[in-house]
């Protein structure tokens, strides 16, 4: 199927690194209204992206996935650029560290705290859960975010 699709240039960038730069034939990005699919020739668009999973297909048909944190996607007729706080492949996600971050955030949410601290704890919990979900969904030996084998 991907052989008949026209390729476009994709860049996925975070402050730490360039996660991907190269050709792509289709892309799915999490935005506030849900997920949006992008192919070459799409009308220009700029949108906020949310924590979630980005999936893209290379011209040879290989599918790739990454966990992204808040950012934006900018689409032109021939290029798509995703600028996000972080982008990680499933194999780069440290499941134990993310479980620990989730647990610490869960405990913090149970305490009395300022509204700003509450929101930060919610964000930490959600991001850790998202990374664990993506790792479990794309791992050879999946483990769910609650530390149980699937």
> Are 75 and 26 found together in one domain?
yes
Residue 149 lies in a domain: no
> Are 115 and 82 found together in one domain?
no
Residue 100 lies in a domain: yes
Q: What is the pLDDT of residue 116?
A: 83
Q: What is the pLDDT of residue 141?
A: 47
> Are 82 and 98 found together in one domain?
no
Structural domains of the chain, count: 2
Between CA 63 and CA 48 the distance in angstroms is 23
Q: What is the pLDDT of residue 138?
A: 82
Q: Give whole-number Cα distances, 99 to 66, 127, 131, 132, in Å.
A: 18, 11, 10, 8
Dihedral sign from CA coordinates of 137, 37, 78, 45 = negative
The vertex-29 CA angle with 31 and 52, nearest 5°, equals 75
Mean pLDDT by 10 residues, the chain (150 residues): 76 95 96 91 91 95 94 93 94 90 87 82 85 81 43
> Are 65 and 100 found together in one domain?
no
Could you say which of 88, 109, 127 is where a domain stops? 88
- Domain housing 35: 2-88
Prediction pTM value: 0.75
């Amino acid at each position: 199927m991907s052989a008949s699709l026209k390729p476009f240039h994709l860049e996925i960038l975070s402050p730490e690194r360039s996660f991907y730069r190269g050709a792509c034939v289709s892309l799915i990005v999490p935005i506030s209204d849900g997920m949006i699919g992008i192919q070459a020739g799409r009308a220009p668009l700029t949108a906020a992206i949310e924590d979630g999973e980005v999936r893209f297909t290379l011209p040879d048909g290989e599918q790739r996935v990454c966990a992204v944190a808040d950012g934006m996607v900018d689409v032109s007729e021939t290029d798509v650029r995703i600028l996000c706080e972080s982008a990680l492949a499933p194999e780069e996600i440290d499941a134990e560290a993310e479980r620990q971050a989730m647990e610490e955030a869960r405990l913090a949410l149970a305490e009395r705290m300022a509204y700003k601290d509450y929101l930060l704890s919610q964000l930490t919990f959600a991001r850790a859960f998202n990374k664990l979900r993506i790792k479990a969904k794309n791992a050879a030996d999946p483990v769910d975010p609650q530390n149980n084998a699937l």
